[in-house]
Structure 1
Amino acid sequence: MSVPEAAMIGEGAAVQSGIDEIIAGRFACRDFSGAPVGRGTIEQILRVARFAPSGANIQPWHVYVLAGDAKDRVSAALREAHETAREAHVSEYSYYASDLPEPYLQRRQQFGRLFYRSLGIAQTDIEARSAQTAKNYAFFGAPVGLIVTIDRRLEVGSWLDLGMFVQNVLLAAAGHGLQSCPQETFSRYHRILRPLLSIPAEQMVVCGVSIGRARDQIAGRLMPRADVADFASFAGFEDQSATQIERTRPWEAETS
């Protein structure tokens, strides 16, 4: 190994691992094949996901796993509510700021343009957009759906823990060759979900997750991501790089 190669590895440049590929290859799938996924696979996904970081080991998450007739009953109730009384339902928490500043507003607007364009839906076509939203409640055809809750008595730090748990679920699913889609929109219909799933009053519905195999295996990430330089600030690595090179010189001399 040359000095530049050793220094590169020390800095994490141009070196990819298997988990890198899983993370970069994950995307929000909205068209599943419906091919069955066994309970054992979902249990293993959750068994791994539970090792997400959790402040004071609180582990604030609870998951309701749905398949078969149970999933179909939930889907039917939610789709009916969406079609007949959507304005009567609202989430118990705010996902987006009411007045998004830049660059977040621009990113959200870009999402709308790219997403509906990919479906051939005009952004002004309210009826078609509503029909697309309704597909959420059928879990986009996935064989397994999760409803994720958090204890409402906890504070914002536990929501950070919950986010890391959900991300672990998505990545563990990808490790099993499955795709997924996290869906905040399920939180809107918490009053319907609560009796159907016997969700206790202290639990707040946060999101749903669809899990299965993508119908189109060529499909992939549609939304662009900001470059590292746009969101990360680095300091001190110049000194670290120099030290790394100094440390590799004796090794290089011994093995050359």
Structure 2
Amino acid sequence: MNVSEALETRLTVRGFLDRPVPADTVRSILETAKRAPSGGNLQPWHVYVVSGDALVDLKAQVQARIGDHPTGEGTEYHIYPPNLSEPYRTRRFRIGEQMFATVGVAREDKFGRLMQFARNFDMFGARTGLFFAIDRQMQEGQWADLGMFMQSIMLLAREHGLDTCPQEAWAIWYKTIGAFLKIPDNLMLFCGMGIGYRDPDHPMNSLRSERAPLEEFTTFVGQ
């Protein structure tokens, strides 16, 4: 599989098969992904790989708290800008509507939407989870570096016949996850990522999110 094919076939999978990912495969992906670029070669990423009984326990701890704290523990950063302007607000609204439509959850069905959101914390059935953290002294440039590292992982996963689900939703449980993984105080949890084998029959995996046309986000100068 070449890079173009990996990009074209990558999607945020919200339904995984109940099939474990070999530890050696995850290790191989991370070994290659560490070649991702970073300004000044800082390599600011930290990743925790959780699987087996450990992931089952972590999921159970979070899910046990959801009933009393449906919005989690807060976050240490804004997942989305507080006053999202256009066209970004419409894009976010539209993908949300499209996702819920695939599983028959109506806009007015608040309970159904909460239940679907809670599936984030089962990692949509993934048997391996990656949790990404970054040193608190880092700035915007290094957060971009972390994103490039994560994108490298997602594309390499496709090369291995795997899929991923990057999930900033895990940031709302940063205290629970930090304690469980013993993340040092100098690191900030950014997000989680499920990795596993795509369930081809899950309706959400049939959704192909829209992209703006090239002319909408590109300015060519000097041609």
**TM-score range for the pair, normalised by the shorter chain length:** over 0.9
SS in 1 for 2:211: coil
Q: Distance in 2 between matches of 1:60 and 1:217?
A: 37
- Deviation of 1:88 after TM superposition, in Å, equals 5.5
Q: Report the Cα distance in structure 2 between the residues aligned to 1:38 and 1:202, rounded to whole angstroms.
A: 31
| Percentage of pairs with the same residue | 37
1:144-175 deviation line (CA, Å, top 9, x unaligned) = 10111111111111101001011111111111
1:35 to 1, 19, 23: 19
Report if aligned partners of 2:19, 2:196 keep a CA contact under 8 Å in 1: yes
Equivalents in 2 of 1:91, 1:175: separation in Å?
33
SS of alignment partner, residue 207 of structure 1 = strand
- RMSD over aligned CA atoms reads 1.5
- The aligned residue for residue 51 of structure 1 is 35
Query: Do the aligned partners of 2:66 and 2:72 also contact (CA within 8 Å) in 1?
Result: no
Q: Report SS of the residue matched to 2:85.
A: coil
Give the Å deviation of 1:136: 1.0
The answer for unaligned runs of 5 or more in structure 1 is 1-16, 238-256
Equivalent residue for 2:84, pick from 89, 100, 106: 100
Residues 128 and 233 (structure 1), Cα distance of their counterparts in 2 relative to 1, 3 Å cut: same
Partners of 1:35 and 1:52 lie apart in 2 by: 28
SS class of match (2:70):
helix
1:228 maps to 214
1:111 to 71, 95, 104: 95
CA contact (8 A) 2:105 2:113 kept: yes
C-alpha offsets along residues 221-245 of structure 1, whole Å, 9 cap, x if unaligned? Answer: 42111111111111234xxxxxxxx
More helix by share: 1
Q: Using a 3 Å threshold, how does the CA distance of structure 1 residues 88 and 207 change in structure 2: closer, same or farther? A: closer
Distance in structure 1 (CA, Å) of the matches to 2:121 and 2:131: 11
- Are 2:132 and 1:148 aligned? yes
* Number of aligned residue pairs: 221
Instruction: Pick the aligned partner of 2:156 from 163, 172, 180.
Output: 172
Runs ≥4 residues deviating over 2 A: 217-222
Unaligned runs of 5+ in 2: none
In structure 2, relative to structure 1, the CA distance for the partners of 1:91 and 1:176 (3 Å cut) is same
TM-score, length basis structure 1: 0.83
Alpha-carbon shift at residue 61 of structure 1 (Å): 0.8
Q: TM-score, normalised by structure 2?
A: 0.95
What is the CA–CA distance in structure 1 between the aligned matches of 2:220 and 2:110, rounded to whole Å? Answer: 44
User: For residues 45 and 211 of structure 1, do their structure 2 counterparts lie closer, same or farther at Cα, with a shift above 3 Å needed?
Assistant: same
